[in-house]
Amino acid sequence: MSELTGVIHDIGYQRYTGPRLGRRHVFGALYLHGVRTAFGLGRSAKAKIFPWLVVAIVLVVAAGLTAVRAQFGEVVMTYAQFADAMSWLVIFFVAVAAPELVSRDLRSGVLPLYFSRPLPRGDYALAKLGALATALWLLLGAPQLVMFLGAAFTTGDGMSGVWHELLDLLPGLLYAALWAVVFASIGLLIASLTGKRAFAAGGIVAIFLMTTPVVGVLSIMPSPTINELAFLASPSTLVGAVGTWALGDLLVPEGQGGGMPIGDFGPVYAAAVVLLVAGCVTLLLLRYRKVAAR
């Protein structure tokens, strides 16, 4: 019989001697990966089609508005109005992006791997929420920046005209941030309830679209108070009501109507937005506390 011989191979194994990054870096990596995922970056070409189609649409609309203003000197749409006009696209963007951020992880069962690192279960949820909110803000804010640059280069008032445009742009960006935070909070909470992306997307669209007819029904009730509070029934109209109250002429310039008829209930709508976001974030954190315990 032949004798068995053993050979030792040096595969170059070395102990890791670099810096051991902690919770803050893990959170940052999850956040950046989430922003990239929302736009399909680092994924297949198929995953990039819808996000970048939406990006292309909003940029084309912004470019068209800029061209009309440069040619005829007429402001067709203010910066704040742009967010309102693009709200339907934002809904569908959330319906696609939110399940990609969280539903895939639930379905593939990789959450125990995340939580085996120095990452508290709440940090995972907050990183994903921050990533989705950032993606939505960029989706609405980048076209506004295009509109601003076009207006700044075509203004006939010099630096005073640019400064005036900047003062109009900043509230528009803040308003876009409000849309982003509200939509991201609701969308991510719904997506976290299921590992099936189709169910999550359908649930998100249903919540945003099926509540709109309720506003219409309440707005024609015989009670003026109910009419003025009707916009609480839908997330989209809730954000619009806050914009009407907080931005005033920046959202609805004089001569274009009075905006949403909310009466003196502006602070009520603002409080409702705060409670809605806080409630969604709290439920999201509780959801991942339960998932991590499995």
Domain ranges of the chain: 23-292
Confidence of residue 38 (pLDDT cuts 50, 70, 90): very high
Span 91-108, average pLDDT: 90
Please identify which residue in the block is written with the tokens 């976001």. 277
How far is 22 from 24, CA to CA, in rounded Å?
6
Tokens of 187: 């969308």
Q: Which of 23-27, 112-116, 189-193 has the lowest mean pLDDT?
A: 112-116
**Residue 282, SS3 per DSSP:** helix
Per the CB < 8 A criterion, the answer to whether 57 and 143 are in contact is no
Amino acid at site 21 = L
Residue 53 has pLDDT above 70, yes or no: yes
pLDDT tens, residue by residue, 128-176: 999 999 999 999 999 999 999 888 887 767 677 788 888 889 999 999 9
pLDDT tens, residue by residue, 197-241: 899 999 999 999 888 888 888 888 888 888 889 999 999 999 999
Instruction: Please give the pLDDT value at position 95.
Output: 94
The number of helix segments (H) and strand segments (E) in the chain equals 13, 0
Residue 56 has pLDDT above 60, yes or no: yes
Instruction: Report which of residues 33 and 157 the model is more confident about.
Output: 33
CA nearest to 269, candidates 259, 281, 284, 254? 259
Instruction: Please give the pLDDT value at position 281.
Output: 96
